[in-house]
Amino acid sequence: MRKVFCLLTMVMMVFVSCDMKLKPFEDGEGEHEIEVCRYDRLESQYLTTGDFSALQQMNMDYPIETRTLIEDVLRLGEVNDPQINHKFLAFFQDSTLQQIVSDAESQYANMDDINSQLNAAFDRLKAHVPSLPIPQVYAQIGALDQSIVIGNQTIGISLDKYLGKDYELYKRYYLPSQLETMTREHIVPDCLSFYLLSLYPMHDFESRTQLERDLHMGKIMWVCNIALGRNFFKSRYISVVDKYMGGNKASGVETLLRNNDYSNLVRMMK
């Protein structure tokens, strides 16, 4: 199984991009703007009981999410393969994965805290970046692969990657430093980081120096800290961005995100 993707030590992000259908939001602002869609519950129902009606509902109500999970996250094959449902079910009959499915559904029976944190964070972001699109967010269960899946203004949370640093099964596959990021508390920060990176990618990434790449990540994390209302992410690159922004924290966030000139930040690092 693949190692956890550590946001604090890696800059090159891999996004699963697809034309994902957006579900309508309720009218109004604030706390009810974002609510995590519980796609994971249908998935769990099918994978643990083989309930075909749950699979039908997955395909009918969440066709793009199901395609993304099967083809891009689990890489089981094409969703229109006549045998794909059997492959999907058989893949999760592994005892370890069955335990993970059960534990994820138990730990995340209630996600009201995640909904509240997401709404508060995006309310703060919108205050600084009015043009920022509000994403549709859903939960799923993968196979200890990707933590966050980004589509077209869509965020998929893989609950299996957030079962806690003391989760016994993780200790077979991950280093202690990686386990620190696999907690409930990291879900919203990770959602923000991946989503902002998808909206504000680094131009000419391959030709950039490692320092510029680190500063780009520092810039994204600095904005995430503003959205979170606290200094969740910490690094010397974030500190340099904070010093660079000075008194422009309130008015310069969108300009910072869109700016791909890192020369001033690089000079400040020396």
Neighbouring residues of 152: CB distance < 8 A, sequence distance ≥ 6: 17, 18, 19, 20, 22
pTM score, whole prediction: 0.87
pLDDT tens per residue, range 143-202: 998 999 999 899 999 999 999 999 999 999 999 999 999 999 999 999 999 999 999 999
The b/e string for 231-246 (b: 16+ C-beta within 10 A; e otherwise) is ebbeeebbebbeebbe
Q: Which residue has the higher pLDDT, 197 or 250?
A: 197
Instruction: Say if CB 109 and CB 184 are below 8 A apart.
Output: no
Q: Which of 213, 231, 229, 221 minimizes the C-alpha distance to 196? A: 221
Strand spans (E) along the chain: 136-140, 148-150, 154-158
**Triad 35, 97, 16: Cα angle to 5°:** 50
Q: What is the mean pLDDT of residues 2-26?
A: 37
Q: What is the mean pLDDT of the chain?
A: 88
Cross-strand pairs, 157:
139, 148
The encoded tokens of residue 6 equal 């550590």
Q: What is the pLDDT of residues 200-224, one digit of tens each?
A: 999 999 999 999 999 999 999 999 9
List CB contacts of 103: < 8 A, sequence separation 6 or more.
163, 167
Q: Express each pLDDT in 226-241 by its tens digit.
A: 999 999 999 999 999 9
What's the distance, CA 203 to chain centroid?
21
Q: Which of 5-9, 43-47, 58-62 has the lowest mean pLDDT?
A: 5-9
pLDDT of 1 > 70? The answer is no
pLDDT score at 25: 38
Q: Please count the other Cβ atoms lying within 10 Å of the Cβ belonging to residue 31.
A: 13
pLDDT number for residue 251 = 73
- Asked if pLDDT for residue 120 goes beyond 80, the answer is yes
Using the predicted structure, report yes or no on whether residue 130 has a pLDDT greater than 60.
yes
